[in-house]
Structure formats: C-alpha cells, structure tokens
Amino acid sequence: FWAYAAEKKLYSLATGEERRQRCWRWRLYVIVGSEHTGGREVPAVVRAAIAGGAEVIQLREKKLSTRALYSLARQLREITGEAGVDLIINDRVDVALAVGADGVHLGSEDLPLPEARRVIGDKLILGATAHSLEEALEAQAAGADYLGVGPVFPTATKPELKPGGLKLLREVASQVSLPVVAIGGITAENVREVLAQPGVKCVAVIRAVATAPDVKEAAARLKQAMEGMGS
C-alpha cells in the first residue's frame, strides 16, 4: 500500500490537506525575534503573546549563531508545545527540523520552495512570502502551504518595502486556494479592514505585539478587535 500511495502521492496529498487545514485555523500569527522585543527575553515575550491569544509563533532571528538560534528555538518548542500553539521557524529549514517545529517560513532569498519541501518532507508546514500576485501564484505552484502577503500597510519594521495595500490582499486571496496571512503595519486599529477582505482570516504582526509595553494585553486587544471578522 505505501509504495502505491507514494507513487500516486496519496499520502502526501492527505497530509498536504492536513497542513493547510492547520493554517486555516490560524487567526493571530505573532512573529518574534530578539531585535524586536525592546530588550526583553524572547521566551517571555512568546509566553505573553500566547497568553493574549496568538495561535502561531514565528521565530525570526537574522543575527544569532546557529547554536544560539537552535537553543532559543528549543525553548520556544517547549513553550508552544505545552500551549498547543504552532511554531514556525523563519529561514532555517535545518533548525526547524532539528527542534521539531511545525513549519518553516521562507522568503525569496532563502532555499527555493521545492528544495525546501524535499528536505522537510510532508510533515512540516511550508510558508512563503509573496509581495505580488505573481509571486503568490508561483509560491502556490511550488508547494507552499500558506502565503504571507504584504506589506499591507507601510511598516517601520521593513521600510524598504512598498505596501501593496488591501488591493494586493484582495487580489491574492481571490486567486489562490491557500490560506493567506496578511502582514505589514497591522495594528488593532486597522485589523478589521484587513479581515474585511474576502478569504483573509489571519494576520501576522511584529511590532503591534512584540514591541508593546504589555505584550499579553496587546495580543488580547488585537484578538478582540478581530472578533466577528474573517469568517
């Protein structure tokens, strides 16, 4: 059966569906890295974000050594695992596998998606960033399970990127079948406009949660602002 299933890709189809189902459940996706916590410890910020209602945490570290990143990712695996929250590792397929994360998120400068899928196999969620409809369609065809689409609004976190606005979100969400995670400049004040776009159920934030003085309260406020939207 397994040889037959592998040949027909039955097994991977089933798990691909499962992976995407997991992503469709997400509402608040919080990205955390030591550059954006105002000097606080990343695990403490993650605990607070989860207490405030985040269902998925992405660890995004651009400067740590591999060993330091691994050690931090392991701590976050414990915290997220206990809370039943998904853990995604930015850029680093090897670290995601090493700590048993739920997935990996890749941008255009990281491993190409088909190669990443070959390395991670069927079990891990593969997320991709798309800044245009073209990139979104390419990522979908290349095997992504969800798409991070943005920046929706101007953001001090990535000032070099030109915002695509709500129009980009609408375009992408209407033309792809994957879960769309809106990103870039999203706050409790503008989140309802974002979730008013058909097909958009989940938002990813850095500053609105990780840099807030009270992380738990900031996440809870965002979740509250999201109520009744995005269904």
Query: What is the footprint of ligand 3NM within residues 181-200 (CB under 6 A)?
Result: 183-186
- Asked if 127 interacts with ligand 3NM (CB under 6 A), we say no
Query: What is the footprint of ligand 3NM within residues 55-84 (CB under 6 A)?
Result: none
- Asked if 150 interacts with ligand 3NM (CB under 6 A), we say yes
φ, ψ of residue 105 in degrees (nearest 5): -115, 130
One of 83, 137, 161, 229 touching ligand 3NM (CB under 6 A): 161
Please, what is the minimum distance in Å from the beta carbon of residue 10 to ligand 3NM?
A: 34
Q: Quote the CA–CA distance of 30 and 195 in Å, as a whole number.
A: 16
Q: Which two tokens stand for residue 116?
A: 């990443």
List Cα–Cα distances, 174 to 12, 70, 151, 163, in angstroms: 25, 37, 17, 18
Instruction: Count CB neighbours of 146 within 10 A.
Output: 28
Identity of the residue, 122 or 142, whose beta carbon is nearer to ligand 3NM in the bound complex: 142
Instruction: Count CB neighbours of 116 within 10 A.
Output: 20
Q: Is the peptide bond before 151 cis (omega within 30 degrees of 0)?
A: yes
Name the one range near ligand 3NM by CB under 6 A: 49-57, 94-102, 116-124, 152-160: 152-160
- Asked if 207 interacts with ligand 3NM (CB under 6 A), we say yes
Please, what is the minimum distance in Å from the beta carbon of residue 217 to ligand 3NM?
A: 17
φ, ψ of residue 43 in degrees (nearest 5): -60, -35
Query: Percent helix, strand, coil in the chain (nearest 5)?
Result: 50, 15, 35
- Asked if 12 interacts with ligand 3NM (CB under 6 A), we say no
- Asked if 215 interacts with ligand 3NM (CB under 6 A), we say no
- Asked if 205 interacts with ligand 3NM (CB under 6 A), we say yes
In the complex, which residues of this chain contact ligand 3NM (CB under 6 A)?
Answer: 129, 131, 150-151, 155, 157-158, 161, 183-186, 205-208
